[in-house]
Amino acid sequence: MNTILIIEDDRHLLRLYASVLKKAHFKTVEALNGAEALDILDKQYVDLIITDVMMPEMDGFEFSELLREAGDKTPILMITAKDTFEDKQRGFKLGIDDYMVKPIDVKEMVLRVEALLRRAKVFYSQELVVGKTSLNQDELTVTVKGETSLLPQKEFQLLHKLLSYPGKIFTRQQLMDRIWGLETDTEERTIDVHIKRLRTRFEENTDFQIVTVRGLGYKAVVTHEK
């Protein structure tokens, strides 16, 4: 189940968007402005962001710019009352992925969310291919140059999450929240144990590396030749 971060200072709209998305089988987390949203992203991972533009403390443009400058490629759907070409141009130049103008059709919003997630290869994705390595979510298998191996569920989910976003840094807490769940009592060092096992298992793999980012967490680096 994908997690959607909604950033909207109008509490009525915030509740409406969250309710519609939950009925469409998404998890949601909510923030009233960009500053709150950044605090949330420090603590947990989300698959997509829906943000308003005009908000106190930090607006949607500032938030999107900070996110993209940090190298975060999470899909962003911007919803705003601003309908000028200049505002749309500014948003797309900052790196947002889609744009809707209020008042919106919430059913259309769900369709756009699904389309963005499919584009990001995290929605209804059964197979992830990196060079000559392929991961099958249904079977929890990794195939390298025709040789297939079955991975323990948590190891597979961890590897799949890292390879789905090559170059993106995930903190240990983000990985724990996403794979073990928000209510888990498992300690963060469990991540280190699983990363060590994955590195040992794929030490001869030339398609990718799992890199430690000191003080932050881990990222996958794709190394195969294009």
The model's pTM is 0.58
Whole-number Å distance between alpha carbons of 57 and 52: 13
Nearest to 46 by CA among 68, 75, 69: 75
Whole-number Å distance between alpha carbons of 42 and 138: 30
pLDDT tens for each residue of 155-208: 998 999 999 888 989 998 888 877 877 666 777 788 999 999 999 999 999 999
Structural domains in the chain plus CATH codes: 3-119 (3.40.50.2300), 127-222 (1.10.10.10)
Give the whole-number percent of the chain exceeding pLDDT 90. Answer: 50
10-residue stretch averages of pLDDT, the chain, 226 residues long:
90 95 93 90 86 87 87 87 81 90 93 88 65 86 92 92 90 84 73 94 94 92 73
Contact predicate 68/89, CB 8 Å: no
Q: How far is CA 107 from the centre of its chain?
A: 22
Give the whole-number percent of the chain exceeding pLDDT 70. Answer: 94
